[in-house]
Amino acid sequence: MSEAPTASMPVILGIDDLRPLPRCTRIARTSGEGVRLLEEHRDSFIDELWLDHDLGGDDTIMPVVTLLEEATFNGRPFEIGTVFVHSANPIGAETVIRSLAHWSYRVQRATT
């Protein structure tokens, strides 16, 4: 008798310095941690990626955005269902949205 296939847990990653992001399966608190987190998931599908623009002090999400842009430029984009940008910084959020949309990532503004 065969067993029913088990549904795999969705991969929901978040990069935010403060918010708890309860939907996320893993959270990075700095851009450096965010880059490492994405590199760990380089060859797997990411259902959702939640990004905050300002990550405390002078740190922003832009190194993560650059990683995503360069991956696409090099012909190997990250496989991400939807990128959600949640930020209290409207100009920073719009910069992220425009940058990722330009490289054909499915991205939208969200509130947490």
The tokens for 63 are 């190194």
For each successive 10 residues of the chain (112 residues), what is the average pLDDT? 64 96 95 98 96 97 98 97 95 97 96 64
Domains and CATH numbers, the chain: 12-109 (3.40.50.2300)
Query: What pLDDT does residue 103 have?
Result: 97
Identify how many contiguous H helices and E strands the chain contains and give both numbers.
Answer: 3, 5
Query: What pLDDT does residue 27 have?
Result: 97
Query: What pLDDT does residue 104 have?
Result: 96
Q: Are 96 and 53 contacting, i.e. CB atoms less than 8 angstroms apart?
A: yes
Q: List all residues 6 or more positions away from 28 whose beta carbon is below 8 Å from its beta carbon.
A: 13, 14, 15, 34, 36, 37
**Short-list 104, 43, 39, 49, CA closest to 81:** 49
